[in-house]
Structure 1
Amino acid sequence: MTDADPVLDLRGVQKSFASADGPVPVLRGVDLSLEAGETLALTGESGSGKSTLLHIAGGLENADAGQVRVAGQDITTLSDAARAAVRCTDVAVVFQQFNLIPSLNVADNIGFQARLAGRLDPAVTDRLVQHLGLTDQLRKYPEALSGGQQQRVAIARALAARPRVLLADEPTGNLDEGTAADVLDQLLGLVAETGAGLLLVTHSPTIAARMDRRLHLSQGRVA
């Protein structure tokens, strides 16, 4: 990968799901690219395939056809193990449901993916903790945190591994309006600082307007 290449590039991505009446097309040849340090909003109606596209971009789900390149590498040609390795080192995902590990405290949750990737850097982690206001929460467990605090931990965990691509699926959807705005401010600030490319799925025009670019998914295609 060169500096001029996108950190994420999808070409002709197709996906269908089985039904009693036969395959139901969800993605019909989607093209999408994301540069390092760029923020991109993906909008669309419920059921339009936004989350499916995000999962394919992150190697969490396979496309039926098309090409997905992450950090210059075509992950559609990789084995499951090799694709998992790319997810571990180059891609991080922030979900609406937080997905923290309940048996680990905040400090261990934050370091979890970075340890798997062999990229745990205490200096990086400390900066994230301070930026996200988590210094006093490190020994607590997820159940003791508010929704906003849990989402901050999820963001810190994602960025601690220093990914090239950050995928966020409605990351403020479970938060009240004030907390959501604060978490989004922090997320965008950290993305700008780290230089990761951010692809964010949202139904909110307000959130979408804060991204560098916006794409709308409708009838399996983007516009």
Structure 2
Amino acid sequence: MLLQIDNLTKSYAGPEGPTEVLRGVSLSLDAGETLALTGESGSGKSTLLHLVGGLDTADGGSIRLDGQEVTRLDDTGRAALRRGTVGVVFQQFNLIPSLSVAANISFQARLAGRFDQARADRLAEALGLTGQLAKYPEQLSGGQQQRVAIARTLAARPRLVLADEPTGNLDEATAAVVIEEMLALVHETGAALMMVTHSPALAARAGRRLHLRQGRLE
């Protein structure tokens, strides 16, 4: 089992006291498995992805990923987890503005020691980025930046891909290419994919679907 989450809880401070975002979430994910998380805005989907990816810390519960207890890692350990094990596709893209598109695509793979130029080239071609490689993020549209962020994650061949609305800024045809590339990574490398989506069509492509409602899985 690649990922095991047990009784995960998370609250955030608010003007009227703590707001519970996750209320005892438990799930498991095997290597090679794909999971779609659906739910209304504010149901805790993005928070769950951030906790699994070591981008935030839980109040309680356990996250065990590829043999590591994520909830016990310090900042350095969580950063190492994101370099070597987890790839996160953010809604905000988080591209490095001082790097070209080509350098952004290769960045995480180089950090992980898994850079493959042929793979980077294939991803750039598949995602329609071949003509944009010398440009910088500020010169791209939102949809193009999203495709660069996806290529960067997939180029590093992570053990687990966490994708937060990965096709939210893309047209239908490009969205279809993106999900095919993600599913191909799972098939080729035995990685797992957990994605948050509001798209019924995208959720239907996953092997399993779970619904979050008010911080609880259904």
Instruction: Give TM-score, length-normalised by structure 2.
Output: 0.91
Q: Which moved more, 1:182-191 or 1:58-67?
A: 182-191
Tell me how many residue pairs correspond in the alignment: 218
Q: Deviations over 1:190-220 (max 9, x none)?
A: 3333332110001122211111100000121
Residue pair 2:37, 2:197 contacting (<8 A) in 1 also? yes
Q: 2:97 maps to what in 1? A: 102
Q: Alpha-carbon deviation of 1:76?
A: 1.0
Residue pair 1:97, 1:174 contacting (<8 A) in 2 also? no
Distance in 1 separating the partners of 2:41 and 2:143: 24
Distance in 2 separating the partners of 1:33 and 1:214: 12
Distance in 2 separating the partners of 1:209 and 1:96: 20
Q: Which moved more, 1:32-41 or 1:185-194?
A: 185-194
Q: 1:162 maps to what in 2? A: 157
Structure 1 residue 222 and structure 2 residue 217: aligned?
yes
- Cα 1:77–1:12 change in 2 (3 A) is same
Structure 1 residue 182 and structure 2 residue 177: aligned?
yes
What SS does the corresponding residue of 1:19 show, helix, strand or coil?
coil
Q: Which runs of 5+ in 2 are unaligned?
A: none
Q: 1:67 maps to what in 2? A: 62
Q: 2:18 maps to what in 1? A: 23
Q: Which runs of 5+ in 1 are unaligned?
A: 1-5
Residue pair 2:42, 2:214 contacting (<8 A) in 1 also? no
Q: Which moved more, 1:179-188 or 1:63-72?
A: 179-188
Residue pair 1:132, 1:152 contacting (<8 A) in 2 also? yes
Distance in 2 separating the partners of 1:135 and 1:178: 17
Instruction: Give TM-score, length-normalised by structure 1.
Output: 0.89
Distance in 2 separating the partners of 1:150 and 1:20: 35
Q: Deviations over 1:36-66 (max 9, x none)?
A: 1211000111110110011001110100001
Structure 1 residue 198 and structure 2 residue 199: aligned?
no
Structure 1 residue 172 and structure 2 residue 167: aligned?
yes
Q: Which moved more, 1:25-34 or 1:176-185?
A: 176-185
- Cα 1:81–1:208 change in 2 (3 A) is same
What SS does the corresponding residue of 1:215 show, helix, strand or coil?
strand
Q: Deviations over 1:141-167 (max 9, x none)?
A: 223334443222211211222210100
Distance in 2 separating the partners of 1:192 and 1:146: 30
Distance in 1 separating the partners of 2:151 and 2:174: 16
Q: Which amino acid aligns with 1:55?
A: H
